[in-house]
Structure 1
Amino acid sequence: MRTIRLAPGADLAGFRAAARRLAAEGVPPEAAAFTTADAPGLFAAPPEAEAPPLALPKPVAALIPAVVPHRDPERYALLYGLVWRALHGERHLLEVASDPLVHRLLRMRKAVGRDLHKMHAFLRFRRVPGQGEGQGEGEGQGRGQGQEPRERFAAWFEPDHHILAAAAPFFVERFPAFDWSILTPEASAHWDGAALRLGPPGRREDVPATDSFEAGWCAYYASTFNPARLNPTAMRAEMPKKYWRNLPETAAIPDLVRAARPRVAAMIEREPALPQKRVPARALAAMAAQEPASLDALNAIIRRSEPLVPGATQAVLGEGPLGAAIAFVGEQPGDQEDRQGRPFVGPAGQLLTRALEAAGIERPAAYLTNAVKHFKFEERGRRRIHQKPTAGEVAHYRWWLDRELGFVRPRLVVGLGATAVLALTGQTIPITRARGPARFAGKPYTGFITVHPSYLLRLPDGAKDAAYTAFVDDLRRVRALAEETAA
């Protein structure tokens, strides 16, 4: 039986050297015993020469340092058993989670990882009174002679496993600008701004009981406590009570828990008085109660109302004269319309203007508006991408559209696209099948259905010319119908 003595704690270097020697000599796991005794045992082997590195699978090599900090005294024997099997034909052993050895080692890795996480989360530094006071042997060596000592901080922690060496680099990265020491019952770590050193065990009394920062930290912790989400079971699972005595904020927890129920009751009682936003039914009822007497009064309501769709910087109002023979209703403003505050000024609007001119309709003589008065969009980098309004959002804006057209009093209303037709009729109607003159039930004007000009922009180049010609033909029919209704 070969007995290998390793240093107490997490002796990763010692285990690697021993595993290389044992494997090179062909010593099977059952013939090797690992011990962490401070003194050599009766059968301890004398120092041996270095053996060459082992060609281990990457998952096995990565698992070893994650398990070595575990407190289980059998960890080294289990790891050498894994190494032996990986070197003798079972290179994919870690993929077999049901294997008893693999299962046990993976559970150990998980326990070490959880302990590291708790240390990262629950370690609290306290300022040591007097700059440079109380430095242990070897501390402060990273600074030159004659330099003024910096502030020092210390923390006490009681880990479940031998994780201090693995955890300390995290705190070096997080707090590189001041000197600190982490003391545990079995070892200590010291950072002086230049080097990280491990030392002997520390004492809890060497860490200050409190400091001036903690009062502010405890006040902040209490202010962020949400009584409506109190769950003591989950709290204890995430912050086990074993850590509480070293966390200053936990002193406030009992009072916060006792006061949670009354605070929630008070919040519920105050809730009706809180301002309500984006409640369309209430917003529309408030608008209707104002009973605007003119288009200008209606537009004033629109300008000061919150958008009923997400996005938008301003309401984009209709444009054109009262009594216009023809009113064109689109879907919603686009990016350029939202920026300029005018309807149909973007690419689709420019196409519409050109088509109106080709059809013999003067744009300034027509009334142009949209079913939805605000630009609904999603930001992607620097671009604002159009988002189609839902049927519910279109319905929320019908109050505005109906009164707007009532004040304008057009003889003919053209629905440009499916969203506009939905707003005018309350029904989803296929545009290609219903294209042309239409009866809008209950409306005091003649209707006409055609495509939205943005539809033409989305077509492939080979189909755009024919579609544009058909769109201009529709507008010529619109002009003819408007002239017939005037006769």
Structure 2
Amino acid sequence: MQARLSSATDLTGFRNEARELLAHQVPPDQVHWETQQAVDTDLFAGPAQGSDQVRTSKGIPRAATAIVPASFLRLCEVVVLHSDPQRFSLLYRLLWRLVHEPTLRNDPIDPDMLLAQQMAQAVRRDLHKMKAFLRFRQVPDDERPGEVLHVAWFEPAHHIVEAVAPWFARRFAGMHWAILTPERSVRWDGEKLAFGPGGSRDDAPPADAGEDLWLTYYRSIFNPARLNLPQMRKEMPRQYWDNLPESKLIGELAAEANERSAAMIEQPAQAPQRRIPRPVADDPVVTLKQDGIHSLADLKAATMRCRECPIGELATQSVNGEGRLHAPLMLVGEQPGDQEDLQGHPFIGPAGKLLDRALEAVGVPRDAVFVSNAVKHFKFELRGKRRIHKSPTQREAAACLHWLEDEIVLVKPKALVALGATAARSLMGHAVAVTAERGKWLERADGLKVLVTLHPSALLRLQDADREEGFAAFVADLKKARAFLDKHA
């Protein structure tokens, strides 16, 4: 019996024909599969039209619909793209055996199944190679006068054009392009894909100005010390070299590799660039002048572009202090949290709400103090989609110290409140045992008083039974700050 498919990749037709054959109990060795090359049919536009139904005897009863593993259907989707003319016979034979030999699905070394998986792997490899080794060239677009069309020539080993075209449409959605292959062509106009017959290498455009720029870039990034020709030929087989502009440089660069490697070895070693915190001057005003800061706005702009430690490269933005200038009291925490990083304001997350509650309990309005952090960027660790707070290291806090000192000089507070160990270390210049020193006034080298207490986030980590007691102790510490505030109001 003959089973005809409308194209070389007619998966829908194959499923329909195979379903009919299986329902009429036609064994694989009695079926001959034929395909006719599609010309203008879009494979993914819908079910194939015009597939001849298999001729079967009317007297043969239909069997029940077969149920096969979903993994076999996914395997079929890939294997039908293979160029082997016996691929449909193989798939129908596997389908027949899955129905009549249930143990096949658990046999990892069955020859037919191994062959199908090898075909699928070859198709996937061809898909990857087309994505990696296809190069566009610019030509005038006949359909859009004054515009350019990017055209590429590629010779795939299998029938993959329809399967890979949507990827190129997503990858190069903003430009108009066309891909030519010996059997199939595809064009993207910015909105939809149009498939057509194949072409020849002569239809591909010659080199353009952009190609010279690409070759210059390729030559500049070539590292002779990492050259491995056997591995390169394995990953980039010679069959693709004719389509790659950079292939003309491979021989030249490979011949020069040993000489260039020796020259690189003879060059003196370069000292690595280290992120070392800049020392802070004994006089805070001197630090301010070294940073070139004249206002809080200048400080914000400077911290936004700061890369003296790795935190600034990953944070959304810097989060500087807020409040009124010359506030008698300046509260300093550790670093901004997730919400602070997103919105750009200090102490607006859960810890900030607890701080507001404590200030309200002691009768201090939030706008009567200046609130800031020792570190100006949010350090975090990704866990799934969540950004989990991670404490800054001493080096990272030291890198941010001069920004904190600049802020203190600009605000000119009468006293400081250190919320937590990181803030206490930054303000005092040495480690402070917060548990032992909490509620005490310490004095900095410049004469400023520093009240040490816990960070509000430490209270959030307490059990419910201990949280109220811890909050009461925190309020008691802030009452000492309130007494100082009343004295210097």
* Same fold (TM > 0.5): yes
| Structure 2 Cα separation of the partners of residues 332 and 176 of structure 1 | 41
| Structure 2 Cα separation of the partners of residues 10 and 371 of structure 1 | 63
| Structure 1 Cα separation of the partners of residues 449 and 268 of structure 2 | 51
State the partner residue of 1:247.
244
State the partner residue of 1:23.
22
Change (3 A) 1:320 1:196: closer
- Rg larger in 1 or in 2? 1
Cα shift readout 1:93-113 (whole Å, capped 9, x = no counterpart): 446434332222111111112
Say if 2:114 is the partner of 1:88: no
Say if 2:394 is the partner of 1:391: yes
| Structure 2 Cα separation of the partners of residues 227 and 350 of structure 1 | 58
**Contact conserved, 1:329 with 1:413, CA < 8 A, in 2?**
yes
Deviation at 1:77, TM superposition (A): 3.4
**Contact conserved, 1:188 with 1:202, CA < 8 A, in 2?**
yes
Deviation at 1:158, TM superposition (A): 2.9
1:219 to 207, 213, 221: 213
2:117 to 83, 106, 110: 106
Q: Output aligned runs, 1:37-436, within 5 Å.
A: 48-49=55-56, 55-57=66-68, 58-88=70-100, 90=102, 93-94=104-105, 96-124=107-135, 131=142, 156-164=153-161, 166-167=163-164, 182-184=180-182, 187-189=183-185, 196=194, 199=197, 202-204=199-201, 206-208=202-204, 210=206, 214-220=208-214, 222-223=216-217, 226-228=221-223, 231-233=227-229, 235-255=232-252, 262=260, 279-281=274-276, 283-285=277-279, 287-288=280-281, 297=289, 303=299, 306=306, 308=308, 309-310=311-312, 311=315, 312-313=317-318, 316=321, 329-332=332-335, 335=340, 350=356, 353-354=359-360, 357=363, 372=374, 374-376=376-378, 388-397=391-400, 415-423=418-426, 424=428, 426-427=430-431, 429=433, 431=435, 435-436=438-439
Q: Secondary structure at the match of 2:278?
A: helix
* Paired residue type of 2:374: V
Deviation at 1:83, TM superposition (A): 0.6
| Structure 1 Cα separation of the partners of residues 57 and 154 of structure 2 | 36
**Contact conserved, 1:56 with 1:87, CA < 8 A, in 2?**
yes
1:470 to 436, 451, 473: 473
Provide the TM-score with structure 1 as the length reference. 0.61
- Structure 1 gaps, min length 5: 39-45, 133-146
| Structure 2 Cα separation of the partners of residues 475 and 21 of structure 1 | 83
Q: Secondary structure at the match of 1:107?
A: helix
* Paired residue type of 2:474: F
| Structure 2 Cα separation of the partners of residues 55 and 171 of structure 1 | 36
Q: What is the percent sequence identity of the aligned residues?
A: 31
Deviation at 1:48, TM superposition (A): 1.8
**Contact conserved, 2:3 with 2:31, CA < 8 A, in 1?**
yes
* Paired residue type of 1:80: Y
- Structure 2 gaps, min length 5: 37-52
**Contact conserved, 1:191 with 1:197, CA < 8 A, in 2?**
yes
**Contact conserved, 1:330 with 1:417, CA < 8 A, in 2?**
yes
Change (3 A) 1:452 1:68: closer
2:30 to 32, 35, 43: 32
Cα shift readout 1:47-79 (whole Å, capped 9, x = no counterpart): 725998954423323322421332345433322
Change (3 A) 1:56 1:109: farther
Change (3 A) 1:89 1:375: same
| Structure 2 Cα separation of the partners of residues 195 and 468 of structure 1 | 64
Provide the TM-score with structure 2 as the length reference. 0.61
* Paired residue type of 2:55: E
* Paired residue type of 2:203: V
**Contact conserved, 2:178 with 2:188, CA < 8 A, in 1?**
yes
Q: Secondary structure at the match of 1:158?
A: coil
Farther off after superposition, 14-23 or 416-425: 14-23
**Contact conserved, 1:333 with 1:372, CA < 8 A, in 2?**
no
| Structure 2 Cα separation of the partners of residues 272 and 258 of structure 1 | 27
Cα shift readout 1:20-73 (whole Å, capped 9, x = no counterpart): 4543443434x43647699xxxxxxx9725998954423323322421332345
**Contact conserved, 2:21 with 2:54, CA < 8 A, in 1?**
no
| Structure 2 Cα separation of the partners of residues 400 and 47 of structure 1 | 80
| Structure 1 Cα separation of the partners of residues 107 and 355 of structure 2 | 64
